[in-house]
Structure 1
Amino acid sequence: MNRTDRLYALVEALRAAAPERRSARRLAEDFGVSTRTVERDLVSLQEAGVPIWAEPGRTGGYTIDARATLPPLGFTVEEALAVAIGLATLGNSPFREAARNAARKVTAVLTEDDARRTARLAGRVHLLEAGDRVPAPTALAAALTRGRVVRMRYRDRAGAESERTVEPLGYIGKGEDWYLVAWCRLRDGVRAFRGDRVLAVEETDEAAPPRVVRVEELDIPHGVLRPVLGD
């Protein structure tokens, strides 16, 4: 059994036993590997975000939240490389921290050989950037995810600063620029705010009301808008 298959099997074994615990020694015997190998695999799964807990002691062991887990994904080297490249393009976006975490999770579920091959190939791919962009605040991504109203300080293209209260609706990425599309309460309409011009962000406890945005309302330069999950 290779490492990827064993990771799948470990998760399934813990899911089947939950909420009971399984010791590393027992798991090692079940899979015909050393205890050290099982412990290393379990750490990799934990780093990949799988909710596995360890309880020390003679009667302790490992357990998993079976309701909140699915088996880890299996990637080919080509798929892992494509994911790594895609995530690297988010370096200036509000999603850059989540992208770095996701990249670590992808690496964690690869076999050691595939992880080395992916890293070697990724070293041959570079992104050409202007190098003069200030990253968009990551708090903007969190506000969109949680559906919260945001107060922010914004500098427009003429350099004028203003305080805005906005309801996040989505994002548009254009090269290195990321635009927050939001309902602006100051302007009483939909506006697009370039991420590197957002100077400060404060998420409120107010839930943003549902709104529908139309492309013609967006005052930003763009070509053809393509959805992230499009074909």
Structure 2
Amino acid sequence: MTRTDRLYALVEELRSAAPRPRTVAQLAARFEVSSRTIQRDLQALMHAGVPLRAAAGRTGGWFVDPVMTLPPINFTATEITAIAVALAAAESAAPFSAAARSAMQKLTAAIAAGSVAPARDLARRIQVVPAPLPDEILSTVERAIAERQVVWLRYGDAAGEETEREVEPAGLLTARGSWYLIGWCRLRQAGRGFRLDRIRAARLTGEPAPAHELADLAAVLPEETKPADVLDALTRPEQ
């Protein structure tokens, strides 16, 4: 059993046993690993957002907090796999990928017991290999949008030429297999799109960013730009 399989199975074991807790020793025996391994797994699940709780005392142990969980959801195996594939595609390749991992852990905890094994078997036959993006750049872009902060970028265009920009972020857009930060570029004084995999460095300036909508940015493009070409214009920041 791989660690990923064990993490999913561990959540299911705790959920199905609820409200009775399971001790670390019981879980270690169940999955035939050491107590230290189970403790690391439990910490990883908590870090991912799974609502685990520990009860002290002779009859204590670990359990899934029923207040923080959904009732069992009757997804089919293919529905569960479709969600898992979509979230896996986001992992390390899209903004808010950490939230996607946390969401998958929470969803797994709420899936009806009979659906887990067929879904896991199907998921093993589907592999997603995302193109990783630097965590520090992703997290900076995520915060810039969520907190509406001006973000400084060092950006490389298609020819490899680098420029430094201050951008007032409007949002994120995915097109042609790539993710773009869309915002008002102070250097060009126009709406621009920045491919995330071409951002060489990013940092928050701490300056509040004016609110921008994607439609507003499209409106400030040259009048001769046709509606069908709006995306092209937004995704050419080197102009």
Question: What TM-score do you get using the length of structure 2 for normalisation?
Answer: 0.61
CA distance in 1, matches of 2:207, 2:178: 27
Equivalence map 1:113-192=2 (5 Å): 113-126=114-127, 135=133, 137-139=137-139, 140-192=141-193
Verify the 8 A CA contact 1:97 1:138 in the aligned structure 2: no
In 1, Cα distance between equivalents of 2:171 and 2:163 = 21
Name the count of aligned residue pairs. 190
Q: Deviations over 1:43-94 (max 9, x none)?
A: 7995773656546358x9999797xx56356251333212112112224222
Structure with higher helix content: 2
Tell me by how many angstroms 1:124 deviates.
2.7
Corresponding position of 1:87 = 87
C-alpha distance in structure 1 between counterparts of 2:74 and 2:184, whole Å: 39
1:148–1:203 CA contact under 8 A, matched in 2? yes
- Percent identity over paired residues: 34
Q: Give the SS at the match of 2:70.
A: coil
Task: Tell me which residue corresponds to 1:71.
Answer: 70
Aligned-partner Cα distance in 1 for 2:196–2:108: 29
Distance 2:99 2:48 in 1: 12
User: Would you say the 8 A contact 1:191–1:219 is kept in 2?
Assistant: no
Pair 53,121 (structure 1): closer, same or farther in 2 beyond 3 Å: closer
How far off is 1:161 after superposition? 0.6
The 3-state SS of whatever aligns with 1:125 is coil
Query: 1:65–1:203: structure 2 CA closer, same or farther, 3 Å change rule?
Result: farther
The answer to whether the 8 Å contact 2:72/2:111 transfers is no
Query: Could you tell me how far apart the structure 1 residues matched to 2:171 and 2:118 are?
Result: 36
Letter in 1 for 2:98: E
Is residue 220 of structure 1 aligned with residue 226 of structure 2? Answer: no
2:211 is matched with which residue? 210
Helix, strand or coil for the counterpart of 2:171? strand
SS for the counterpart of 1:36 is coil
TM-aligned CA deviation for residue 202 of structure 1: 0.9
Equivalent residue number for residue 22 of structure 2? 36
| Equivalent pair of 2:50/2:106 in contact (CA under 8 Å) | no
Q: Is the 8 A contact 2:192 2:233 kept in 1?
A: no
- 2:102 alignment counterpart: 101
Name the CA distance, whole Å, in 2 between partners of 1:63 and 1:84: 21
Gaps of 5+ in 1: 11-26, 29-34, 223-231
Q: Identify the residue that residue 193 of structure 1 maps to in structure 2.
A: 194
Identify unmatched segments of 5+ residues in structure 2.
1-10, 28-41, 222-229, 235-239
- For residues 14-62 of structure 1, give each alpha carbon's deviation from its aligned partner in whole angstroms, at most 9, with x where no partner exists: xxxxxxxxxxxxx43xxxxxx439x98xx7995773656546358x999
- Conservation of the 8 A alpha-carbon contact between 1:94 and 1:135: no
The one-letter code matched in structure 1 to 2:201 is: A
Q: TM-score, length-normalised on structure 1?
A: 0.63
> What is the CA–CA distance in structure 1 between the aligned matches of 2:193 and 2:46, rounded to whole Å?
38
Deviates more, 1:96-105 or 1:176-185: 96-105
